[in-house]
Amino acid sequence: MNDGPVTSRLLAVDVGNSRVKFGMFDLASIVDGLPELVDSLAAAPDGPMPWEEIRGWLGESDSFPPHGIVAGSNPLVRDVVAEDWPSGWPAPRVLTDSSCLDLDVQLDHPDQVGIDRLLNAVAVRRLAAAQRAAIIVDSGTATTVDLVDATGGFGGGAILPGFGLLAQSLHRYTALLPLVTLEQLGVGPPPVIGQDTTTAIKSGLFFGQLGAVRELVREMSGSVGGGQVDLFLTGGGGPLLATALAEARFVPHLGLCGLAEVARSAVRGDSP
């Protein structure tokens, strides 16, 4: 980490394609094996960054600014966030690829894997049961389904369009189909038989995504010998999928938690 006033606070920024997520962590407080997330918010990647609101999180201790760490699947906006970092705060550490992580990436080209997927794996290593494989479903702009093996290594996975991309494709490439947003999908499974165009789209989006995820989880679970596998959900569509996947644990802000764990490991001196 960068030199500066001694503080256990960390501002982590996970830069995605549709949202920039900010999380303030207390590295000295551990909850469920990970640094405690104290405050969080999200902003649009093409809008102003909410630095004033984040300064408000610090309260009277603003004279001791947090350390910072930034990563994400949107490199252009990631670099803008790092360059726009509040003056007077220690410059953030910017993670760009797998070489920045203490993670066994068991792929031919580790540097080509999205760091957002790897950060999820870093966090899940702290959450999964010992000596048990885990599968991570991250439902965002794209949905990723990734395997972390029983040794904690990242084994790869699958990428498919998320709820938003599927809905936008139906709307953009047809003459009459309306756009159905994630918010319109609601908080639980829609009727499987739609009685009008909009409800038919809702059914197709939800059960199509759910079916794809279930099949990928089934196949990946079988690939590790059929033993018990921990299933984790995260991302904007995670709460909706969780309503139909009772065996899954929903963990909001999993990527931010991975960033915080990387920073905590660096403080302890046991990561790159």
CB 45 within 8 A of CB 60: no
Name the active-site residue from 14, 79, 111, 116.
116
Q: Let me know if 62 is a catalytic residue.
A: no
DSSP 59: G
Query: Which uninterrupted H or E stretch holds 52?
Result: helix 51-58
Helix 163-172 vs helix 197-223: crossing angle, to nearest 10: 140
- Token digits for 132? 């048990």
CB 106 within 8 A of CB 155: yes
CB 7 within 8 A of CB 67: yes
Provide the 10 A C-beta neighbour count for residue 40.
Answer: 16
**Residues annotated as part of the active site:** 116
